[in-house]
Amino acid sequence: MAPRPVEHRANGRQNYPTSCSYWFFAIESFVNSIWRAVSEIDSKCDFRLVRKKDLTTRLTELISLLGADLEAFYKSGIFARFGELIQFRNDIFHDRQHGVLIEYKKTAFSKVPPLLNQVDVLQSMVIAIEVFNYLRYAFPNIDIMPEVVYFPKGTIAYRKVDFMYESIVETAFTEILKKHGLVTDLVLSCAKELTAKASYFNKYDIAFMISADKRLEYAFNHQRSQIVDGYCHKVAELEDLDPGMFRVPSYGRKIEDAT
């Protein structure tokens, strides 16, 4: 008989740092993709050199290159919020806080980054959408606002990420807060009134192409198993706690280990 899976509840907080970081990576990939297009057109642009620059420099230099109004981008507040996303991401992954609260003046990021929650994820998402929106018309006659996949009624479809955020995430989060009588300082709406008037690519014919990868066949063993759950169950059997009890982490050393 297969062992019963160990009962547990997923701690959503474990996913928050990854989620915030993914929005940072999404912005970086978005900016780099436009730079790659530039390098394909301009032989003087070496993407291998561009990618060595910090992301803030890559973004601002790209805006200038595209012929957009960099000063307007600064004044919009998007740049400042983007800078705090970079700081927040680094504060999380490089464990830079030490005994003092970190003040984020332009965003609602947690003053104690390791204790981040859903608000921090949504703040990261809002900033990403604002950057996407600003550069969405970098190419003539093309809207490069990223699209996300979803599965309506047994089908597969794509929608712009800003549409999905406004239609589902922002609306649902607002309703959930109202249900529980909660409030947040986070500005849930995205600043979408400003988009770059880019001219760099106007003299080029640019089109998007989608090609299917060759399907790869793998000889998987389709017999269902519970390998991981089995080993988790063995570890759980080592505990001698009564139901409803818990124990805290133990960092003490045994005498024999210390000699």
Q: What does each C-alpha distance from 151 to 29, 112, 158 come to in angstroms?
A: 24, 36, 9
Q: What is the pLDDT of residues 222-234, one digit of tens each?
A: 888 999 999 999 9
The answer to whether the pTM exceeds 0.85 is no
Q: Which of 43-47, 210-214, 216-220 has the highest mean pLDDT?
A: 43-47
Residue range(s) defining the domain that contains residue 153: 12-180
- Is 67 a domain residue? yes
Q: What does each C-alpha distance from 115 to 94, 137, 235 come to in angstroms?
A: 14, 37, 28
Q: Are 19 and 121 in contact (CB under 8 A)?
A: yes
| Residue found under tokens 């609306």 | 171
- Is 143 a domain residue? yes
Q: What is the pLDDT of residues 52-87, one digit of tens each?
A: 999 999 999 999 999 999 999 999 999 999 999 999
- Is 191 a domain residue? no
- Is 219 a domain residue? no
Q: What is the pLDDT of residues 103-158, one digit of tens each?
A: 999 999 999 888 889 999 999 999 999 999 999 999 998 999 999 999 999 999 99
- Is 117 a domain residue? yes
- Total tally of structural domains belonging to the chain: 1
- Is 120 a domain residue? yes
- Is 174 a domain residue? yes
Q: What is the pLDDT of residues 21-44, one digit of tens each?
A: 999 999 999 999 999 999 998 888
Q: Are 68 and 196 in contact (CB under 8 A)?
A: yes
- Is 17 a domain residue? yes
